[in-house]
Amino acid sequence: MQRRFIFKLAAALGAVSMFGANAAHAEDAIKVGVTGGPHAQIMEVVKTVAAKNGLNIKIVEFSDYVQPNAALAGGDLDANSYQHDPYLQAQVKDRGYKLIRVADTVTYPMGIYSKKVKTLADLQPGAKIAVPNDPTNGGRALLLLQKQGLLKLRADAGLKATPLDIVDNPRKLKIVELDAAQIPRSLNDVDAAAINTNFAMEAGLKPKQDAIAIEDPKGPYVNIIAIREADRNKPWVAKLVAAYHSPEVKQFVEGKFGGAVITAW
């Protein structure tokens, strides 16, 4: 009788212990926001690596650049991985978000694409060029156009240049500002377009083959992991960064994207 009682007690204690372990694991679960395409694909590998170290990641996919930061600031996400630091800093300044960069991830060199011309030299006077309508990526596109000799910006325009900063436009190009995610679908309506690589690849474009001009990858536009400032010292942050910076993720990026996406660590 006494042995039975001891056995039942041990089983009960084991169940409590197991429940506690499961509860602890559940507390380790975090929500990470990404945009569709490479960011989402990479995060799936990060999720697998993180799980081996006791961190459970739930991936939440977005179709635009605005919502992931709003969701993070509002507490619906624990982290996001989809943007470069200039965009984050612009959002922090404009919207008052208390978000910070905790790690670099990958670089997606922006490209110029066209279904109507094969080279930038073929662009006719008055050609329509689509660029992202958010301040950071719009400025990035204009700097790329300047680098290609298509226009000239004010010397102090910086990374947030807008069409108003154009001081020389010899071909009288018409700059059309569109939502970054929509630009690939608008290629038929313009003569050329500056498209972020993640959206280009999602649309079936291959940056190395299809872009008629491409950005130097060694620029300020490395992508990042962002979190709320208040969470900077939480244990899961280090686990998330370690999983992203793992050899498995680097190998996946190098093998999957053929140089269109470049690791930054």
Using the predicted structure, report yes or no on whether residue 35 has a pLDDT greater than 80.
yes
Mean pLDDT of 229-257: 97
Do 91 and 133 sit in the same domain of this protein? Answer: no
Do 74 and 194 sit in the same domain of this protein? Answer: no
Using the predicted structure, report yes or no on whether residue 97 has a pLDDT greater than 50.
yes
d(CA 16, CA 20): 6
**Among 214, 230, 252, residue at a domain's last position:** 214
Percent of the chain with pLDDT over 90: 77
Instruction: Please name the helix (run of DSSP H) or strand (run of DSSP E) that holds residue 94, with its range, or none.
Output: helix 85-95
Do 115 and 91 sit in the same domain of this protein? Answer: no
User: Coil, helix or strand for 137?
Assistant: helix
Question: Within a domain: residue 19?
Answer: no
d(CA 127, CA 117): 11
**In the structure, what pLDDT confidence band is assigned to residue 248 with cuts at 50, 70 and 90?**
very high
What is the predicted pLDDT for the residue at 17? 40
List of residues 6+ apart from 102 with CB closer than 8 A: 79, 224, 225, 226, 227, 232, 237, 241
Using the predicted structure, report yes or no on whether residue 9 has a pLDDT greater than 90.
no
List of residues 6+ apart from 118 with CB closer than 8 A: 212
What is the predicted pLDDT for the residue at 25? 41
The number of folded domains in the chain is 2
Q: The whole model's pTM is what?
A: 0.72
Using the predicted structure, report yes or no on whether residue 59 has a pLDDT greater than 80.
yes
Using the predicted structure, report yes or no on whether residue 28 has a pLDDT greater than 90.
no
Percent of the chain with pLDDT over 70: 89
Do 115 and 196 sit in the same domain of this protein? Answer: yes
Residue 242 has phi, psi (to 5 degrees) of -60, -40
Using the predicted structure, report yes or no on whether residue 196 has a pLDDT greater than 80.
yes
What is the predicted pLDDT for the residue at 2? 46
Q: Give me the domain span that covers residue 232.
A: 27-108+220-263
Do 121 and 198 sit in the same domain of this protein? Answer: yes
Using the predicted structure, report yes or no on whether residue 224 has a pLDDT greater than 90.
yes
List of residues 6+ apart from 223 with CB closer than 8 A: 39, 81, 82, 83, 84, 104, 105, 106, 107, 108, 264
